[in-house]
Copies of this chain bind each other. A is one copy, B any other.
Amino acid sequence: MMSIGNPVKVSKAAYIRPIDFKNGRVEMAHGGGGRMMMQLIDTLFLTAFDNNILRQMNDQACFSVPAGRMVMSTDSHVVSPLFFPGGDIGSLSVHGTLNDVAMSGARPLYLSASFILEEGFPLADLKRIVESMAKAAQHAGVSIITGDTKVVEQGKGDGIFITTTGVGIVPEHLQISAERAQPGDKILVSGTLGDHGIAILSLRENLTFHTTIQSDTAALHELVACMIEAVPTIHVLRDPTRGGLATTLNEIARQSGVGMMVYENKLPIHEQVRAACEFLGFDPLYIANEGKLVAICPAAAAETLLQAMQAHPLGSKAAIIGEVIEDSHHFVQMETSFGGQRVVDWLSGEQLPRIC
C-alpha cells in the first residue's frame, strides 16, 4: 500500500508548500485529482475566474435560463506561439468561442474552460494565460463557470491547449444561419482581413516589419448586438477564422446553395498585411482572423447595416465587399483589381498550422 493513509490526525497544511508561480513548473500531480490539483484550482483558477456559479465547486455548474433558443459552441485552441502581438492563447480561447456563439445573433452567457497542460510548463506562463482569459471574459461580460485540468507527460503535449465551450441565448425574432444567403444579398466584412494570421506568422518566421502587425483577437458579440438592432433581418453571420474569408464564403455558398461575387478592390486589408503576404507568398483571403465577421443581408438593408457596423469601434473599417449570386456550382468568384475574374476556391492543403 502507498503511504496515503495516516494513523493519526495531522494538520493538512503540513503536506503542502505554496505554489511557486515565479519559477515553478507544472507537475503530473497538478492533474492527479489530489491535493496539488485542488491547490492549483483554488489558488489560480478560482481566484482569476471568481464568480458565484464557479464557486458552487461541483463537477458541474448550475444556472437559470429562460425558455427559448439556446446555442452551444466549442473550440480547442492550440495556437503556437502562445503569446503574440495583440493577445495570447488565453484571450484567444475566450474570444474564439464567444464569437462562434455570437454568430447566431445570441448573447453569450457562460463559458467552460478545459486545460491540457504539459508537464514542465512554466507556472508563470500558465498564470499569465489564465489571467488573460479572466480579463477577456470580464471585458466581454461573460463568466467562466466550470472547467477541468489535465496534465500529460513532457513530450506528449505542447505547453498548453485550452478548450472552451460557450452557451448563449438567441433573441426570439432572429433567423441567422449559414443556409440563408439568397441571390441579391450583399456581403459585408467588419474590418481588415488577415491581421491575426500574419501576426502569428511574423513571429514564427521571425520577421520584423516596420510596424508590428497585431492580432485582431476580440469579442464581437457587442458589435453583433448593434448590427441586429439596426437590421434584424440579417441572413448570415460567420467569423472567418481558420481558412480565412475564402473558406468562410465557400462554406456559406455550399450551405445556402448559391454563388458569390467578391470585388477585390473593396476588400479592406492593412498595407502591412498586404506587404507581408506578398513577401511570404500568401493570399490574404485565406489568412485567419479572430476579431472579424462576415455578414450577409438583403440588399435593401446593406447600407443601414454598414453604418451600424462602422459606428462600432470593432467595425470602423467595415465594407460591402460583394454579393450573393445564383450559381448551381456554388462557386465564390472574385472580380480582380485588374478587371479579370477568378474562382476563390476552398483551401486545398494546409496553409498556416496551429493559427488558433
Contact = CB atoms under 8 A, between A and B. Distances in A.
A290 interface: no
A157 interface: yes
Contact of A74 (B153, B163, B178): B163
A342 B155 CA distance: 39
A19 interface: no
A132 interface: no
Interface stretch (A134-142, A201-209, A296-304, A348-356): A348-356
Given A286-B4, A342-B5, A343-B8, A106 B350 contact: no
B70 A347 contact: no
A283 B146 contact: no
A1 B282 contact: yes
A72 B281 contact: no
Contacts of A161: 116, 150, 152, 161
Q: How many protomers of this protein does the assembly include?
A: 2
Interface stretch (A30-38, A224-232, A317-325): A30-38
Interface residues of A, number: 112
A251 B177 CA distance: 44
Interface stretch (A97-105, A121-129, A183-191): A97-105
7 closest Cβ contacts across the A-B interface?
A: A34-B347, A33-B242, A33-B243, A165-B165, A60-B73, A163-B163, A74-B112
Contact of A347 (B35, B158, B241, B329): B35
Given A60-B71, A282-B1, A156 B158 contact: yes
Interface stretch (A61-69, A211-219, A265-273, A307-315): A61-69
A344 interface: yes
A110 interface: yes
A4 B158 contact: no
A260 interface: no
Interface string A2-39: 10111111101001000000000001110111111110
